[in-house]
Amino acid sequence: MEETSEELTATTVAALVDSAAASAEHEYDIAQTLRQSLRMSRDNEQDVAAPGPASWTFWAYEYHPRRAKPTEQDFFEPPLLYADGTGNIPSLSSLPDEAIEWLAQLSREVKQPRALARLAHLLFLRRYGNAGIHARTAIKSYLVIARRSIDIDAVDAVRIGLELSRRIGDAQLADDALGIIVGYNTRSFGSRSTSRRSGSRTPRYAGF
């Protein structure tokens, strides 16, 4: 990584994150763009050995939702897991407090819903500051993503938003998420009726 930690501020890094989120077609595109803009090493070894704001930012978007029965404590995991249970990047629970403080600074600077949803979700999972506020910020950002289109990322966003809403017991946000899901099904059923007449097929996201 060419830039030193001293050269990075939350404002400048947040601008890079927002730019990556705005141009991303999928969630994982953010990390790939940040790898270049933050000049991260390809094998992660240098960044793990000497972590700092650039590494912490990249890792925040490199985490993947856990593939097998995630719990609140391990909802996100490193993209590559080894046989001994460790990953190619540090787990969220192992990040030092200064890393979480950095992510909190970023969350106050970013504007893009995709960028904010991830940071606020991570802060909630680490119980940084007012966890309820972070959870609601994440949920509202996920629902903004979900309202924009019907695709896999949108479906994932509304599912996570609904799960978080139920976890913190926010009935209004849970109802908002369910309303989006009902809207998906209504739009999809209507599209399917149209597609039958036209002879084409439109994918339908139902069964939540």
Range of the domain at 93: 1-129
Supply the pTM of this predicted model. Answer: 0.82
The answer to whether residues 44 and 111 belong to one domain is: yes
Domain finish residue from 105, 129, 153: 129
Whether 13 and 34 have beta carbons less than 8 Å apart is answered as: no
Establish if 174 belongs to a structural domain. yes
Pinpoint the alpha helices (H) of 44-170.
45-49, 53-62, 97-107, 113-125, 131-148, 152-168
Answer yes or no: is pLDDT of 173 > 90. yes
pLDDT confidence tier of residue 208, bands split at 50, 70 and 90: very low
Establish if 20 belongs to a structural domain. yes
Q: Tell me which residue of 57, 56, 49 sits closest to 18, measured CA to CA.
A: 57
pLDDT confidence tier of residue 87, bands split at 50, 70 and 90: confident
